[in-house]
Protein backbone atom coordinates (compact mmCIF):
# COMPACT_ATOMS: atom_id res chain seq x y z
CA UNK A 1 0.00 0.00 0.00
CA UNK A 2 2.81 2.39 0.85
CA UNK A 3 4.45 1.84 -2.54
CA UNK A 4 1.17 2.47 -4.37
CA UNK A 5 0.51 5.59 -2.33
CA UNK A 6 3.98 6.85 -3.09
CA UNK A 7 3.51 6.34 -6.82
CA UNK A 8 0.21 8.19 -6.82
CA UNK A 9 1.67 11.19 -5.04
CA UNK A 10 2.68 14.24 -7.03
CA UNK A 11 5.86 15.61 -5.53
CA UNK A 12 5.31 19.34 -5.06
CA UNK A 13 8.35 20.70 -3.26
CA UNK A 14 8.13 24.01 -1.50
CA UNK A 15 9.58 26.21 -4.18
CA UNK A 16 9.53 29.78 -5.32
CA UNK A 17 9.66 31.40 -8.71
CA UNK A 18 13.43 30.90 -8.85
CA UNK A 19 13.10 27.14 -8.50
CA UNK A 20 10.33 26.98 -11.10
CA UNK A 21 12.46 28.97 -13.55
CA UNK A 22 15.55 26.84 -12.88
CA UNK A 23 13.62 23.58 -13.27
CA UNK A 24 11.86 24.97 -16.34
CA UNK A 25 15.18 25.79 -18.02
CA UNK A 26 16.36 22.24 -17.32
CA UNK A 27 13.22 20.81 -18.94
CA UNK A 28 13.65 23.20 -21.89
CA UNK A 29 17.21 21.94 -22.41
CA UNK A 30 15.91 18.39 -22.34
CA UNK A 31 13.34 19.19 -25.05
CA UNK A 32 15.91 20.90 -27.26
CA UNK A 33 18.38 18.02 -26.87
CA UNK A 34 15.59 15.68 -27.99
CA UNK A 35 15.22 17.71 -31.20
CA UNK A 36 18.98 17.60 -31.72
CA UNK A 37 18.85 13.80 -31.53
CA UNK A 38 15.86 13.62 -33.89
CA UNK A 39 16.58 16.46 -36.36
CA UNK A 40 13.98 15.22 -38.83
CA UNK A 41 11.25 16.79 -36.66
CA UNK A 42 12.74 20.25 -37.00
CA UNK A 43 13.68 19.84 -40.66
CA UNK A 44 10.12 19.03 -41.75
CA UNK A 45 8.75 21.78 -39.51
CA UNK A 46 10.97 24.30 -41.32
CA UNK A 47 10.19 22.93 -44.79
CA UNK A 48 6.47 23.61 -44.42
CA UNK A 49 6.64 27.45 -44.29
CA UNK A 50 9.25 27.47 -47.06
CA UNK A 51 6.85 25.47 -49.21
CA UNK A 52 4.05 27.96 -48.48
CA UNK A 53 6.27 30.90 -49.47
CA UNK A 54 7.26 29.33 -52.77
CA UNK A 55 3.73 28.12 -53.48
CA UNK A 56 2.04 31.47 -52.89
CA UNK A 57 4.85 33.67 -54.24
CA UNK A 58 5.35 31.88 -57.54
CA UNK A 59 2.04 30.09 -58.22
CA UNK A 60 -0.97 31.67 -56.47
CA UNK A 61 0.72 35.06 -56.21
CA UNK A 62 0.64 35.55 -59.97
CA UNK A 63 -3.16 35.74 -59.85
CA UNK A 64 -3.50 37.79 -56.63
CA UNK A 65 -3.20 41.56 -56.90
CA UNK A 66 -2.68 43.86 -53.92
CA UNK A 67 -3.18 47.51 -54.88
CA UNK A 68 -0.29 49.68 -53.80
CA UNK A 69 2.35 47.03 -53.14
CA UNK A 70 4.04 43.82 -54.23
CA UNK A 71 2.17 40.67 -53.29
CA UNK A 72 5.37 39.04 -52.06
CA UNK A 73 5.90 41.77 -49.49
CA UNK A 74 2.24 41.47 -48.49
CA UNK A 75 2.60 37.69 -48.22
CA UNK A 76 5.62 37.25 -45.96
CA UNK A 77 4.07 38.77 -42.82
CA UNK A 78 1.17 36.33 -43.19
CA UNK A 79 3.56 33.41 -43.57
CA UNK A 80 5.41 34.58 -40.45
CA UNK A 81 2.14 34.61 -38.49
CA UNK A 82 1.08 31.22 -39.82
CA UNK A 83 4.49 29.71 -39.05
CA UNK A 84 4.65 30.78 -35.40
CA UNK A 85 1.02 29.78 -34.82
CA UNK A 86 1.67 26.29 -36.15
CA UNK A 87 4.94 26.27 -34.16
CA UNK A 88 2.96 26.71 -30.96
CA UNK A 89 1.49 23.23 -31.44
CA UNK A 90 4.84 21.70 -30.44
CA UNK A 91 3.86 22.25 -26.81
CA UNK A 92 0.69 20.20 -26.95
CA UNK A 93 2.22 17.54 -29.17
CA UNK A 94 5.26 17.18 -26.91
CA UNK A 95 3.11 16.83 -23.79
CA UNK A 96 0.89 14.25 -25.48
CA UNK A 97 3.95 12.25 -26.56
CA UNK A 98 5.50 12.42 -23.09
CA UNK A 99 2.28 11.17 -21.52
CA UNK A 100 1.94 8.35 -24.02
CA UNK A 101 5.53 7.22 -23.40
CA UNK A 102 5.25 7.51 -19.60
CA UNK A 103 7.85 10.28 -19.30
CA UNK A 104 5.42 12.46 -17.35
CA UNK A 105 5.24 9.68 -14.75
CA UNK A 106 9.02 9.87 -14.40
CA UNK A 107 8.84 13.62 -13.85
CA UNK A 108 6.43 12.94 -10.97
CA UNK A 109 9.14 11.10 -9.04
CA UNK A 110 11.64 13.96 -9.30
CA UNK A 111 12.01 16.71 -6.66
CA UNK A 112 10.92 19.49 -8.98
CA UNK A 113 8.05 21.92 -9.35
CA UNK A 114 5.40 20.25 -11.56
CA UNK A 115 4.63 23.56 -13.27
CA UNK A 116 8.25 23.62 -14.50
CA UNK A 117 7.34 20.92 -17.03
CA UNK A 118 4.92 23.31 -18.71
CA UNK A 119 7.21 26.33 -18.49
CA UNK A 120 10.11 24.32 -19.88
CA UNK A 121 8.03 23.03 -22.75
CA UNK A 122 6.76 26.49 -23.73
CA UNK A 123 10.23 28.04 -23.42
CA UNK A 124 11.76 25.42 -25.72
CA UNK A 125 9.05 26.13 -28.27
CA UNK A 126 10.08 29.79 -28.29
CA UNK A 127 13.56 28.67 -29.33
CA UNK A 128 12.08 26.54 -32.12
CA UNK A 129 9.99 29.49 -33.30
CA UNK A 130 13.07 31.72 -33.33
CA UNK A 131 14.79 29.24 -35.65
CA UNK A 132 11.68 29.09 -37.85
CA UNK A 133 11.49 32.89 -38.05
CA UNK A 134 15.15 33.13 -39.07
CA UNK A 135 14.64 30.54 -41.81
CA UNK A 136 11.48 32.33 -42.94
CA UNK A 137 13.25 35.70 -43.08
CA UNK A 138 16.03 34.26 -45.25
CA UNK A 139 13.47 32.61 -47.54
CA UNK A 140 11.53 35.87 -47.80
CA UNK A 141 14.66 37.80 -48.71
CA UNK A 142 15.39 35.23 -51.41
CA UNK A 143 11.99 35.78 -53.09
CA UNK A 144 12.15 39.58 -52.96
CA UNK A 145 10.76 40.54 -49.54
CA UNK A 146 12.43 43.45 -47.80
CA UNK A 147 12.10 45.16 -44.42
CA UNK A 148 11.24 48.77 -45.18
CA UNK A 149 11.06 49.91 -41.56
CA UNK A 150 13.86 50.57 -39.09
CA UNK A 151 15.90 47.93 -37.30
CA UNK A 152 14.02 48.64 -34.06
CA UNK A 153 10.67 48.31 -35.83
CA UNK A 154 11.77 44.94 -37.22
CA UNK A 155 12.77 43.72 -33.75
CA UNK A 156 9.38 44.78 -32.37
CA UNK A 157 7.63 42.97 -35.23
CA UNK A 158 9.53 39.75 -34.56
CA UNK A 159 8.93 40.19 -30.83
CA UNK A 160 5.17 40.42 -31.34
CA UNK A 161 5.23 37.22 -33.38
CA UNK A 162 7.14 35.30 -30.70
CA UNK A 163 5.11 36.76 -27.83
CA UNK A 164 1.77 35.81 -29.35
CA UNK A 165 3.06 32.35 -30.24
CA UNK A 166 4.26 31.85 -26.66
CA UNK A 167 0.80 32.71 -25.34
CA UNK A 168 -0.83 30.38 -27.85
CA UNK A 169 1.47 27.53 -26.77
CA UNK A 170 -0.32 27.56 -23.39
CA UNK A 171 -3.61 26.97 -25.18
CA UNK A 172 -1.99 24.03 -26.95
CA UNK A 173 -0.69 22.76 -23.62
CA UNK A 174 -4.24 22.50 -22.31
CA UNK A 175 -5.40 20.78 -25.51
CA UNK A 176 -2.49 18.32 -25.40
CA UNK A 177 -3.13 17.46 -21.76
CA UNK A 178 -6.83 16.89 -22.40
CA UNK A 179 -6.47 14.85 -25.61
CA UNK A 180 -3.29 12.98 -24.52
CA UNK A 181 -2.88 11.16 -27.86
CA UNK A 182 -0.37 12.64 -30.36
CA UNK A 183 -2.24 11.48 -33.46
CA UNK A 184 -5.57 12.89 -32.31
CA UNK A 185 -3.88 16.10 -31.17
CA UNK A 186 -2.33 16.57 -34.61
CA UNK A 187 -5.70 16.17 -36.33
CA UNK A 188 -7.57 18.37 -33.84
CA UNK A 189 -5.03 21.22 -33.89
CA UNK A 190 -4.80 21.17 -37.67
CA UNK A 191 -8.58 21.39 -38.05
CA UNK A 192 -8.66 24.51 -35.84
CA UNK A 193 -5.46 26.34 -36.77
CA UNK A 194 -5.56 25.81 -40.53
CA UNK A 195 -8.86 27.69 -41.12
CA UNK A 196 -7.92 30.21 -38.42
CA UNK A 197 -4.80 31.21 -40.35
CA UNK A 198 -6.58 31.31 -43.70
CA UNK A 199 -9.75 33.20 -42.67
CA UNK A 200 -7.57 36.22 -42.00
CA UNK A 201 -5.55 38.82 -43.83
CA UNK A 202 -2.60 36.47 -44.10
CA UNK A 203 -2.89 35.76 -47.84
CA UNK A 204 -5.64 38.06 -49.12
CA UNK A 205 -7.22 41.34 -48.06
CA UNK A 206 -10.34 40.84 -45.89
CA UNK A 207 -12.34 43.27 -48.04
CA UNK A 208 -12.30 40.72 -50.84
CA UNK A 209 -14.00 38.06 -48.72
CA UNK A 210 -17.77 37.49 -48.39
CA UNK A 211 -19.41 39.53 -45.60
CA UNK A 212 -19.44 36.85 -42.91
CA UNK A 213 -15.88 35.77 -43.61
CA UNK A 214 -14.75 39.40 -43.87
CA UNK A 215 -16.03 40.21 -40.37
CA UNK A 216 -14.48 37.01 -39.00
CA UNK A 217 -11.16 37.85 -40.65
CA UNK A 218 -11.13 41.42 -39.36
CA UNK A 219 -11.65 40.30 -35.76
CA UNK A 220 -9.38 37.28 -36.04
CA UNK A 221 -6.33 37.78 -33.74
CA UNK A 222 -4.14 36.29 -36.47
CA UNK A 223 -5.15 39.23 -38.70
CA UNK A 224 -4.11 41.71 -36.02
CA UNK A 225 -0.79 39.91 -35.61
CA UNK A 226 -0.20 39.94 -39.37
CA UNK A 227 -1.18 43.60 -39.70
CA UNK A 228 1.04 44.64 -36.79
CA UNK A 229 3.95 42.77 -38.34
CA UNK A 230 3.35 44.33 -41.77
CA UNK A 231 3.29 47.81 -40.26
CA UNK A 232 6.51 47.24 -38.31
CA UNK A 233 8.25 45.77 -41.37
CA UNK A 234 7.03 48.67 -43.52
CA UNK A 235 5.23 46.27 -45.86
CA UNK A 236 1.97 48.20 -46.20
CA UNK A 237 2.84 50.22 -49.30
CA UNK A 238 0.00 52.57 -50.20
CA UNK A 239 -2.76 50.19 -49.11
CA UNK A 240 -5.85 51.79 -47.63
CA UNK A 241 -6.15 51.70 -43.83
CA UNK A 242 -8.54 48.91 -42.73
CA UNK A 243 -11.91 50.01 -41.37
CA UNK A 244 -12.16 47.60 -38.43
CA UNK A 245 -10.89 48.60 -34.98
CA UNK A 246 -8.58 45.57 -34.48
CA UNK A 247 -6.76 46.27 -37.74
CA UNK A 248 -6.54 50.00 -37.06
CA UNK A 249 -4.91 49.22 -33.67
CA UNK A 250 -3.18 45.91 -34.42
CA UNK A 251 -0.39 46.06 -31.83
CA UNK A 252 -2.77 46.90 -29.01
CA UNK A 253 -5.08 44.11 -30.17
CA UNK A 254 -2.22 41.59 -30.18
CA UNK A 255 -1.11 42.62 -26.69
CA UNK A 256 -4.70 42.41 -25.40
CA UNK A 257 -5.16 38.93 -26.87
CA UNK A 258 -1.78 37.82 -25.52
CA UNK A 259 -2.56 39.05 -22.00
CA UNK A 260 -6.03 37.47 -22.03
CA UNK A 261 -4.71 34.11 -23.25
CA UNK A 262 -1.94 34.01 -20.64
CA UNK A 263 -4.24 35.05 -17.77
CA UNK A 264 -6.75 32.34 -18.67
CA UNK A 265 -4.66 29.45 -19.94
CA UNK A 266 -1.50 29.48 -17.77
CA UNK A 267 -3.39 28.60 -14.54
CA UNK A 268 -5.74 26.36 -16.56
CA UNK A 269 -2.81 24.41 -18.00
CA UNK A 270 -1.13 24.05 -14.59
CA UNK A 271 -4.39 22.82 -13.05
CA UNK A 272 -4.98 20.37 -15.92
CA UNK A 273 -1.41 19.08 -15.61
CA UNK A 274 -1.86 18.45 -11.88
CA UNK A 275 -5.12 16.59 -12.57
CA UNK A 276 -3.46 14.53 -15.29
CA UNK A 277 -0.42 13.41 -13.26
CA UNK A 278 -2.55 12.62 -10.19
CA UNK A 279 -4.65 10.02 -12.02
pLDDT in tens, the chain (279 residues): 333 333 444 444 445 677 777 777 888 888 778 777 777 767 777 788 888 888 888 887 777 788 878 888 888 999 999 999 998 888 888 888 888 887 777 777 777 777 788 888 899 889 889 988 998 899 889 888 899 989 999 999 999 999 999 999 999 999 998 887 888 888 888 888 988 999 999 988 888 889 999 999 999 999 999 999 999 999 987 777 788 999 999 999 999 999 999 999 999 999 998 887 776
Residue 88, domain extent: 15-277
Q: Is residue 131 part of a domain?
A: yes
pLDDT of residue 279: 65
Q: Is residue 2 part of a domain?
A: no
CA distances for 244 relative to 27, 55, 225, 253, angstroms: 42, 29, 14, 11
SS3 (DSSP) at 71: helix
Q: Is residue 199 part of a domain?
A: yes
Report which secondary-structure segment, H or E, holds 223: helix 221-233
Q: Is residue 33 part of a domain?
A: yes
pLDDT of residue 20: 73
CA distances for 215 relative to 196, 228, 257, 259, 279, angstroms: 13, 18, 17, 23, 43
Q: Is residue 5 part of a domain?
A: no
Number of compact structural domains in the chain: 1
What is the DSSP code (8-state) at residue 199? S
Residue 278: phi, psi to the nearest 5? -90, 0
Nearest one of 121, 98, 62 to 180, comparing CA atoms? 98
- CA neighbours closer than 13 Å in the CB half-sphere of residue 149: 19
Q: Is residue 6 part of a domain?
A: no
Q: Do the beta carbons of residue 175 and residue 265 sit within 8 Å?
A: no
Q: Is residue 103 part of a domain?
A: yes
Q: Is residue 4 part of a domain?
A: no
SS3 (DSSP) at 116: helix
pLDDT of residue 59: 80
Amino acid sequence: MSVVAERNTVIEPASGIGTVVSDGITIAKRNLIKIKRVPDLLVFTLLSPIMFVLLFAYIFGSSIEIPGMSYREFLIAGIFAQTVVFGSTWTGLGLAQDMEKGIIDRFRSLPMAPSAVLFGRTISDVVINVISVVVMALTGLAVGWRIRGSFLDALIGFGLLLLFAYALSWVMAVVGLVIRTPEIFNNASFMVIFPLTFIANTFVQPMKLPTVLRVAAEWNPISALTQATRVRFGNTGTMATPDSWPLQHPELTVLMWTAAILIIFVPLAIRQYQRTVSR
